[in-house]
Structure 1
Amino acid sequence: MAWVTPLYSKERVKRAGATLFDDDATDDQFEEALQVLNNWRSSHSYPVNTFQAGLRNKMSALGIDGLVAQRLKRIPSIVAKLERFSSMSLSRMQDIGGLRAVVSTARQIYQLRDSYVLHSKFDHVLVSENDYIQNPKDSGYRGIHLVYKYNNRKGGATAYEGLLLELQLRNDIQHAWATAVETAGVFLNQALKSSVGNERWLEFFCYASSSFAILEGSPVLDAHKELSNLQTFVKMLELETELEVIKSLGMYNTLVENLKDTNRQGTHYYLLQLDATAMNVSVNGFSRESLPQATTEYLEQEKLAKNKPGVQVVLVAAQSLAALRKAYPNYFLDTGKFVSRIRRIRAMVERGDELKTLKVPRLGRAPVKRSR
């Protein structure tokens, strides 16, 4: 397997990140910075793949069915994050390499979390843990994030020592919510995922998050704690009607299904390009051995998409095209599960269910203690 290894020092990577914001940088300096960034990003593939294999083994041992996918962070997302957090450097960004598990229930999320934090015996270092289920973000985002520093001296992969990667654990409905936010952001051409954009849309997603949490027995957002279940549902539905959320998202669910067949023998990496304006997704498949070619093509496609509103490119890994579509539905404009949950809540309200005394499933565990 031809894995990409880091060719530059962390100090050089840090300078490359700064060059991306240097108005005085020449075209050659900017191009060189992109090449450094791409090598640094591509180098995360090996540790992410190692964790991906471990994640699948853990899920199998626990008897948990779910989706696993991995991705290398898009350059526009890297640049936007560096811009939002002025104190951050490219060499210290924690989620350039990321992998995701999507399972059925919150209980399964915590089973996986505990298998890493409490029971893992590997040498990789847990840098941080964020429980966004018990403590959801103000935006409404939920899930558990674990950030690890790669440490595998015994295995001989010393070139990747110290690289950071992020593991996201979500259940289906948390994933559906996050997908809807990203999809709406694409078509509104606003960074809703980063809480930037139309305030009414952001408010709607906050109420949707709390509404979904009520059905799952998870904490609502702090801003909604004084509201009854019914009040929370009604406010969400009022905003849905005002913004025509279901209609808007539904317009983009008519994506042409006949994608290029990349599910041939040996395909592991998928290069996706979403053109929201043309309502089209293209998918190119690469084998494990073709990772260097895939990452080079990734960078070239990002350059071409730079000044095209509504065009996004991402390189991800999954076991099949079907699994890819489930793990990254936002790139296939698929918000079906989110819309279905909204309709379910509307039906409950219209039926006049006893929402104030609504019985919901509990998580079945004590609040998570933060790791030091």
Structure 2
Amino acid sequence: MNQLSINDLKRFKNELTRFMMTYKFALDEIETRIEILVQEFEMLHEYNPIEHTKSRLKSPESIFHKLNRKGGDLSFSGIKESIKDIAGMRITCSFVSDIYVISQMLKSQSDLKVLDEKDYIKNPKPNGYQSLHLIIEVPVHLSDRLESVCIEVQIRTIAMDFWASLEHKIYYKFNQGNQAVPARLLDELKQAAAAASALDLQMERLHAEIEVIKEEQSETMDDKLNRIIINNQQFALPQALLELLNDEDVK
């Protein structure tokens, strides 16, 4: 290998590394924002709407395979334009209502731009798949410029996630053997998707009932309003401030 080809390889490696790093930084950025939103929600509502999150980056090999299938331009700008799911995050919630709460929290951030939204919960795929997909453009501040980077965010319940994981394993197993998935398994998968959806609805109703009961059995409203909780620490509201507020109400 001559010196020129070595230099070309080094330059390409550096460009690819920098390109992939922007997507990694976009994931870091969105993970931080979600953590802040969750803590804010938990402190104000004493409830965490997210069970867990998982993020991933497509490998360069997978990116170029997808680019080839889509017929995109073989360049970094072409990849960025053609492929919007190089970086992906999956957010798993307990309840369906939590999905839309998290989605709205992200949409309300002025410097995040939602480029596309696909609601497979209200409109499930024919095979029964359910999830909310968002393509979000995230600002990434680098040392020499600002990059706008797209990531795909999938938000689903635990039941939806379990079903999707099982479906993926079944398809992977049969694809490895170059076989079609038997019709019987496809029918059972669709039935399982319906059962998962029914379970989500039932769990949501139970959750709502439990919240009502918990509120009725909790301490009095006056006691709750006289303190705040930050990071599991309780702080009483200053008595002088409460008296001042009472005086203002009288006026």
**TM-score, normalized by the shorter chain, greater than 0.5:** yes
Match of 1:90 in 2: 79
For 1:74 and 1:191, the matched residues in 2 are separated by: 23
Selected match of 2:104 from 103, 107, 114: 114
For 1:76 and 1:206, the matched residues in 2 are separated by: 32
Letter in 1 for 2:84: Q
Cα gap change, 1:184 to 1:37, in 2 (>3 Å): farther
Is 1:126 matched up with 2:109?
no
Larger Rg: 2
Match of 2:196 in 1: 212
Following TM superposition, by how much is the alpha carbon of 1:163 offset from its aligned partner in structure 2, in angstroms?
Answer: 1.8
| TM-score, length-scaled by structure 1 | 0.43
The CA RMSD measured in Å over matched residues stands at: 3.5
Q: Deviations over 1:174-222 (max 9, x none)?
A: 1101111222233333599xxx9425244432332123223334xxxxx
Q: Secondary structure at the match of 2:121?
A: coil
Match of 2:171 in 1: 185
Alignment identity in percent? 22
Q: Deviations over 1:112-134 (max 9, x none)?
A: 011122x323x122111111111
Following TM superposition, by how much is the alpha carbon of 1:55 offset from its aligned partner in structure 2, in angstroms?
Answer: 1.0
For 2:135 and 2:129, the matched residues in 1 are separated by: 17
Identify unmatched segments of 5+ residues in structure 1. 1-27, 218-358, 363-372
Q: Secondary structure at the match of 1:140?
A: coil
Following TM superposition, by how much is the alpha carbon of 1:83 offset from its aligned partner in structure 2, in angstroms?
Answer: 5.1
Selected match of 1:171 from 153, 157, 164: 157
For 2:102 and 2:177, the matched residues in 1 are separated by: 30
| TM-score, length-scaled by structure 2 | 0.61
Following TM superposition, by how much is the alpha carbon of 1:79 offset from its aligned partner in structure 2, in angstroms?
Answer: 4.6
Q: 1:102 touches 1:171 (CA, 8 Å); kept in 2?
A: yes
For 2:38 and 2:177, the matched residues in 1 are separated by: 33
Cα gap change, 1:163 to 1:213, in 2 (>3 Å): same
- The structure whose residues are more often helix, as a share, is 2
Q: Secondary structure at the match of 1:44?
A: helix
Cα gap change, 1:140 to 1:190, in 2 (>3 Å): farther
For structure 1, which segment, 104-113 or 176-185, has the greater mean C-alpha deviation from structure 2 after superposition?
Answer: 176-185
Q: Secondary structure at the match of 1:189?
A: helix
Cα gap change, 1:177 to 1:82, in 2 (>3 Å): farther
Cα gap change, 1:135 to 1:76, in 2 (>3 Å): farther
For 2:177 and 2:128, the matched residues in 1 are separated by: 15
- The structure whose residues are more often strand, as a share, is 2
Is 1:147 matched up with 2:135?
yes
Aligned residue pairs total 186
Match of 2:54 in 1: 69
Q: 2:24 touches 2:57 (CA, 8 Å); kept in 1?
A: yes
Identify unmatched segments of 5+ residues in structure 2. 1-5, 43-47, 206-251
Letter in 1 for 2:104: D
Cα gap change, 1:83 to 1:209, in 2 (>3 Å): farther
Q: 1:56 touches 1:68 (CA, 8 Å); kept in 2?
A: no
